[in-house]
Amino acid sequence: MPPTPEPDANHRPLTPEQADKLPHIHRLLLGHYGQPKPRVPTDPLTQLIYSLLASRTKTPAAQQVLRDLERTFHAGPANWEPVRDASLPDLERALAIVTFPEQKAPRLKALLEQITARVGTLTLDFLAKYRTEKIRDWLEQFEGIGPQISAAVVNFSTLRRRALSIDANHLRVIQRLCVVPRADAATTETRLMRLVPETWDAVLLDDHHALIQLHAHTLCTFADPKCTNCPLLKICPSGQRNLAELHLTTP
Ligand code: SF4
C-alpha cells in the first residue's frame, strides 16, 4: 500500500499552542480595554462605500464624509443613486476631508455605475444568498476593492460572515507579535483565519478586529509603541526586543 501523504502546512491540525494564539491575545486585550462597543451593521452597499472612503483615512473623517454624502445628495442606505449620478466636481468637493479625494471620487462613481450595470439596480442585498468566498470574489472584481475591503463588507455589514479585514494597523500589530510569518495583508488574513477558533462567529471576529484597532491606536502605535505598558508584552517578541535595546542604550 502506498504511504499516506503528509498533509501540507495549511491543512495540518493546529497544536494546542497555535490554537490558543488568537484567543490568548483576545483575552489579554479584553482584560485591558474591555468589551468593544457593539457595531450596528449597515447594509452591504453602505459598508462598501464607507470602506472605500475610509481607506488610509481616520475613522471620524470617513464617518463625517458618509454623513455629508447623505445630507448633500439626499442619499443613504437603499438610496445611493444620487451619489452615483452626482457630477465628479461635486463628489470630489464632498470627499475633500478624506485622503486622495481626486482618486476616490471617480472610483466611487465608477463603482456605483458598474454595480448598477451588473445588477440592474443599485443594491448589494442579493449577495446575502451567496457563500462568503463567492461574495468576496464578486466584490473584488471592481477596481480598488481588495481583500481588506471585501472582508470589511462581509464581516461588518448585515451579511455578518467570518472574515478579518487586515488594514495597516491590524497588520502592524500582528507582525510585531509574530503571530504568523510576515507577509502581505491578504496572505496574513488567510494564515490568521486558520488560527481562528471554529466557535468564533462573525461578531466575535469583528470584536477582535476592534480590539486590535484600539490597541494599534493607543499603545502599539506606528512610531512610538508603548511596550512598557502593553498587556501583550509577555507574548510579544518585538516589544521585548524594544525594551532590551532601550535598557542597553540607557546610561
Ligand atoms: S509589546 Fe510593544 S510592539 Fe508588542 S504589541 Fe505591545 S506595544 Fe506593540
Q: What CATH number does the domain containing 201 carry?
A: 1.10.1670.10
- pLDDT of 47: 97
**Tens digit of each residue's pLDDT (9 = 90 or more) over 101-119:** 999 999 999 999 999 999 9
Give the domain extent around 200.
Answer: 164-245
Reduce the DSSP state of residue 208 to 3 states and report it.
helix
Q: Contacts from 98-103 at CB under 8 Å and sequence distance 24+?
A: 98/53, 98/54, 98/57, 98/61, 98/62, 98/65, 99/55, 99/56, 99/57, 100/56
Distance CA 50, CA 165 (A): 14
Q: How would residue 56 be classed by pLDDT, with cut points 50, 70 and 90?
A: confident
Is residue 7 in a domain? no
| 170 pLDDT above the threshold of 70 | yes
pTM over 0.75? The answer is: yes
For position 217, what pLDDT does the model report? Answer: 95
Give the per-residue pLDDT at 9.
56
What atom of ligand 1 comes closest to residue 232's alpha carbon? 6
Q: Are residues 69 and 112 in the same domain?
A: yes
Radius of gyration in angstroms for the set of CA atoms belonging to the chain, rounded to a whole number:
21
Residue 247's pLDDT is what? 76
Question: Which CATH number do you get for residue 143?
Answer: 1.10.340.30
* Average pLDDT rounded to a whole number, residues 229-249: 92
Q: Flag whether 13 is in a domain.
A: no
State the distance from the centre of ligand 1 to the C-alpha of 183, rounded, in angstroms: 18
Query: Which of 156, 182, 210 lies at the terminal end of a domain, its last residue?
Result: 156
Q: With 60 as the cut, is the pLDDT of residue 121 above it? A: yes
Q: Same structural domain for residues 137 and 174?
A: no
> Could you tell me the three cell numbers for 105?
471620487
Helix (H, G, I), strand (E, B) or coil at 85: coil
**Exposure of 204 in the CB half-sphere (CA atoms within 13 A):** 11
pLDDT of 251 higher than 70 = no
Residue 141, pLDDT score: 97
| CB contact burial 69-103 (16+ within 10 A = b; e otherwise) | bbebbebbeeebeebbebeeeebbebbeebeebee
Number of domains in the chain: 2
Q: Is 29 in the pocket of ligand 1 (CB under 6 A)?
A: no
49 shares its domain with 127: yes
CA angle 212, 214, 220 (to 5 degrees): 75
The percentage of residues in the chain with a pLDDT greater than 90, rounded to a whole number, is 88
With respect to residue 89, please indicate whether it lies within any of the assigned structural domains.
Answer: yes
14 domain residue, yes or no: no
pLDDT at 4 over 80: no
Q: Which of 135, 156, 177 is the last residue of a domain?
A: 156
The band of 6, judged by pLDDT with boundaries at 50, 70 and 90, is low
pLDDT for 213: 97
Ligand 1, pocket-test mutation among 176, 178, 214, 241, most atoms within 8 A of CB = 176
Alpha carbons 238 and 221: distance in angstroms, whole number:
13
Q: Look at residue 5 and tell me whether its pLDDT is greater than 90.
A: no
Q: Which residues pair with 76 in a beta bridge?
A: 79
Contacts (Cβ under 8 Å, ≥6 apart) of 223: none
Last residue of a domain, one of 134, 156, 178: 156
Ligand 1 binding pocket includes 233 (Cβ within 6 Å): yes
**Rounded Cα gap, residues 52 and 46, in angstroms:** 10
Find out whether 185 and 231 touch, Cβ atoms under 8 Å. Answer: no
